[in-house]
Structure 1
Amino acid sequence: MTSEAPSEATTPEKSPDSRVFNGFRGSLIGVAEALPGISGGTVALIVGVFERLIGAASQLTTAIRLLVTGQGWRRTVAEVKQVDWGLLIPLMIGMVVGLLLSARLLAPLVTDHTQYAYALFFGLVMASLWIPYSGSGQRWSGANYGVALVFAGLAFWLTSLSVAGAADNPLVVIGSGAIAVTALILPGLSGSFLLLALGMYEPTMDALNNRDLAYIGTFALGMLIGLAVAVKTLRWLLEKYHHMTLVVLTGVMAGALRALWPWQGPEDDRSLHAPTTDVPQTVGLMVLGFVIVTVVLVVAHRKENPARGRGRHARTPSRR
């Protein structure tokens, strides 16, 4: 499947209005990427650019690979010309604007009201588990539940480790960027949630707000690496082993919810505590987060279902 067909079926993307609209759609995706639990991929699906975005990203990474491996300047230029720049450039600009605005608003919330912020995020991610769980359209077997449980346990253990000072390690920042960008390939997987689980959410938001160019540049390098390697790999896994990949992702997301438990110790401790303080308000925010994502998923399903048919939920382009 190529990206040309969808563009022919829609309004021309080269008009100024279309570019502005693509920028607006990108800003919505950027806002979603800053919210743990609301996947930028899900929002891309809702606004109708998911497949074209993935197709453009795939072509761009192919061009980069051709250039890096020295397979010819002409082949590289030819591949670059195939990229849907009319969509990609305004979309990326909009995403950056939306992300910066969200970072300005969310960073103080997480820092000053950690328990309430984590409660809201916990509800967001809890509802998001439905996407990878139901994404393959296949019934889970007992072995599937066992695999998910193993990866949930692994994620639970990893998110219990202290990550204090990790933001000072360039390799950790690069790895965080690479991991976060993979969230765009799979609706339901939140890049911000992955950063939270890694303990890199607040440092990244602070870097964006403070215009820390060294951190941002290092993080962007990780995103490029992730785009060139991890996204291609994940896309291949989703095409070849779609059901099992979603089983593993469901387990990882469920286990990593540990990072968002509202009642826990400081970053250098990360021990879990029973609900004690402000329980009604905290639980209420959990429910609110759950409802928000549920509404987003219902809208996405209604928009996707007529084009995809039943049982085709949040998949990469079909191989047919």
Structure 2
Amino acid sequence: MEFVFNIIKGVMIGIANVIPGVSGGTMAVSFGIYDRLISSISGFTKHVKESLALLAPILLGCGLGIAGFTYAIEYLLENHTFVTCMTFVGLILGGLPALYRAMNEKKAAGSGKMGAGAIIAFLLAFAVSAGLPLLKTGGDTLAVLPVNGSTMAILFVLGIVASATMVIPGVSGSMMLMILGYYYGIINTITSFLDGLRAMDLAALKDGFLLLAPFGIGVLLGIVLIARLISFLFERYGVQTYGAILGLVLASPFAIFYNTGLFGELSSLSVWAVLLGIMLMIGGAVVTNFVGEK
């Protein structure tokens, strides 16, 4: 059953990585597997069997979540923005008790103190997570990516940057891609590749592979690099690291609402939409607590 629950967690992490403003790292924190995930990635060569037992179902779930939700994301955010965002706010905030317990465990183990350092880390991380969406200016103009060497090189670098932000809780990799102007281009490339796979269109598959392969390699490299850094921080400065993660997570709802334009739409929401959003937020929090304990 643990394998199945890890697939479900992976699906939710994958979906979170597709939505601008939502962090896959935050979802991993909420499900109570973040530190284990980081340890498995950073120590993969030393503990291959144990690492695969955790990473395989989560990566499978991530792939399913990204592939399945890529088609739905634009429709849901355009037509059901509030209830979609409230669901993810609930999924994120539902993991706060587990995050707080983990921080106390690090304190009890002597990995840092709940002092000024943890407070400063919290405030800085909160400011970064809340301020990052404000950097977005204008629209995403590269809806269709040309298949050439320069684009492939750019996508490799973007993969490293995006994956690093995907791993860090509270910082959205998809939002970073949107800020850099490549979000919709990559989304369109994924959907075109999947369409080509269904139709067995070799030309579409070749173009998709040439663009997605360097991006995927960059993603894997970025995840390994940032995981080793975070693993070191957990070991040496556990409480301060969790303080920073707590700041990133608490700022996520603001980032989600701002990045999707919800602040300008709140006054026009119907009572039923608000009630449904609140219900889905509560439901999301319950799901996080339930799945996170499995």
- The answer to whether the superposition gives a TM-score over 0.5 is yes
SS of the equivalent of 1:165 reads coil
**Distance in 1 between residues matched to 2:289 and 2:5, nearest whole Å:** 19
Higher relative CO (Cα under 8 Å, sequence separation at least 6) belongs to 2
User: Could you say which residue in structure 2 is the equivalent of 1:220?
Assistant: 216
Counterpart selection for 1:194 from 172, 175, 178: 172
Q: For residues 29-178 of structure 1, what are the structure 2 equivalents within 5 Å?
A: 29-33=9-13, 34-35=15-16, 36=22, 39-40=27-28, 42-43=30-31, 45=33, 51=36, 56-60=40-44, 62=45, 85=52, 88-89=55-56, 92-137=59-104, 144-162=118-136, 164-165=139-140, 170=155, 171-178=157-164
Partners of 1:28 and 1:43 within 8 A in 2: no
Inter-CA distance 173–89: structure 2 relative to 1 (3 Å threshold): closer
Mapped pair 1:245 → 2:220? no
**Distance in 2 between residues matched to 1:158 and 1:254, nearest whole Å:** 14
**Distance in 2 between residues matched to 1:210 and 1:242, nearest whole Å:** 43
**Which amino acid in structure 1 is aligned with residue 27 of structure 2?**
S
Q: State the percentage of identical aligned residues.
A: 17
User: In the TM superposition, what is the alpha-carbon distance from 1:279 to its structure 2 partner?
Assistant: 4.5
Q: For residues 177-188 of structure 1, what are the structure 2 equivalents within 5 Å?
A: 177-180=163-166, 182=167
* TM-score relative to the length of structure 2: 0.64
* TM-score relative to the length of structure 1: 0.60
**Distance in 2 between residues matched to 1:300 and 1:101, nearest whole Å:** 20
SS of the equivalent of 1:250 reads helix
User: In the TM superposition, what is the alpha-carbon distance from 1:246 to its structure 2 partner?
Assistant: 1.2
Q: Which runs of 5+ in 2 are unaligned?
A: 17-21, 108-112, 146-153, 194-207
Counterpart selection for 2:251 from 237, 251, 255: 255
Q: Which runs of 5+ in 1 are unaligned?
A: 1-17, 63-78, 184-188, 266-270, 304-320
**Between Structure 1 and Structure 2, how many residues are aligned?**
249
**Which amino acid in structure 2 is aligned with residue 165 of structure 1?**
D
Mapped pair 1:209 → 2:200? no
User: In the TM superposition, what is the alpha-carbon distance from 1:42 to its structure 2 partner?
Assistant: 4.9
Structure with the larger helix share:
2
**Which amino acid in structure 2 is aligned with residue 122 of structure 1?**
V
Partners of 2:128 and 2:248 within 8 A in 1: yes
Residues 137-179 of structure 1: per-residue CA shift (max 9 Å, x gap): 1595576445423432233222111154387763444311232
Partners of 2:42 and 2:231 within 8 A in 1: no
**Distance in 2 between residues matched to 1:83 and 1:166, nearest whole Å:** 43
Inter-CA distance 133–207: structure 2 relative to 1 (3 Å threshold): farther
Inter-CA distance 166–40: structure 2 relative to 1 (3 Å threshold): farther
Inter-CA distance 162–55: structure 2 relative to 1 (3 Å threshold): closer
User: In the TM superposition, what is the alpha-carbon distance from 1:238 to its structure 2 partner?
Assistant: 1.2
Mapped pair 1:233 → 2:229? yes
